[in-house]
Amino acid sequence: MLTLRIKEIAEVRLRYGMWRILTLLRREGWKVNHKRVHRLYKLENLNLRSKRPRRNRAGSHRLDREPATSLHECWSMDFVADQLFDGKKFRTLNIVDNYSRKCMDIYADQGIKGDQVVEVLESIRIKKGIVPKKIRVDNGSEFISKALDKWAYDQHVILDFSRPGKPTDNAYIESFNGSFRDECLNTNWFLSIADAKEKIALWREEYNSFRPHSSLDGLTPDSLVLTS
């Protein structure tokens, strides 16, 4: 059982070494010492710090990114930065369902921390009764926060961290961010945060219910959701 749990953590926490895995195990209630965890970690060939040939199956297994095959199987989250008309900066937290491409939410504010990420996810859970099985994120400070880690653990959601410098690990949100910037941020003049939230909400509604998606054979995310 311990070996299985170590492998499960290593598969989703791609950049976590033995010591961080040990910390997570102890947080979950495992009464283990570091020598035993290190032995099992080495036996399973999980030490990704050492360079390996690309043909090594143990190393490549941890890098697989299977496409989602159903609604809410996997979401992706990321931040995008922009500014108001007077130069004041703000950020948006973008959340997308990888299967339907539906934008679950875009939260805009001048500063977004880990607690606010949790508030947005919790709002979706309460209002829509939805939590995904997995969320793909990068290694930003907001996504490795204790607040988000606890929320994910309590809701049985896997946080799937991408490798630093590898945007292709989270290709769906990268594609969404490009469309969002091109079609919304670059075409609007934001007078205030309230104004930005209003215009972004209108764009999000159009993105989900009107805009045809080439990746969906011309369908909209909302229409795909209705037929799934």
Every domain of the chain and the residues it spans: 2-61, 74-227
Q: How would DSSP label each residue in 84-102?
A: -TTS-EEEEEEEEETTT--
User: Averaged over 79-100, what is the pLDDT?
Assistant: 96
Contact 147, 114 (CB under 8 A): yes
For residue 104, which of 114, 91, 94, 92 has the smallest C-alpha distance? 94
Q: Can you give the pLDDT at residue 119?
A: 97
> Can you name the residues that pair with 159 across neighbouring β-strands?
135
Contact 225, 100 (CB under 8 A): yes
pLDDT in tens, 160-209: 988 766 656 778 899 999 999 988 999 899 999 999 999 999 999 989 98
- Cα separation, 86 vs 178, in Å, equals 23
Maximum C-alpha span of the chain: 58
Helices (H) and strands (E) in the chain, counts: 9, 5
- Burial of residue 190 (number of CB atoms within 10 Å: 0-12, 13-18, 19+): buried
Contact present, 151 and 158 (Cβ < 8 Å): no
Mean pLDDT, to the nearest integer, of 52-67? 48
**pTM score, whole prediction:** 0.71
Packing angle between helix 2-12 and helix 34-43, nearest 10 degrees? 70
pLDDT in tens, 25-52: 887 889 999 999 888 988 888 875 544 4
Q: In this predicted structure, what is the pLDDT of residue 218?
A: 77
Whole-number pLDDT of residue 167: 59
Could you tell me where the beta strands, DSSP code E, fall in the chain? 74-83, 89-97, 103-109, 134-137, 158-161
May I ask the CATH class of domain 74-227?
alpha beta
Angle CA 190–219–131, to nearest 5 = 70
Burial class (CB in 10 A: 0-12, 13-18, 19+), 70: exposed
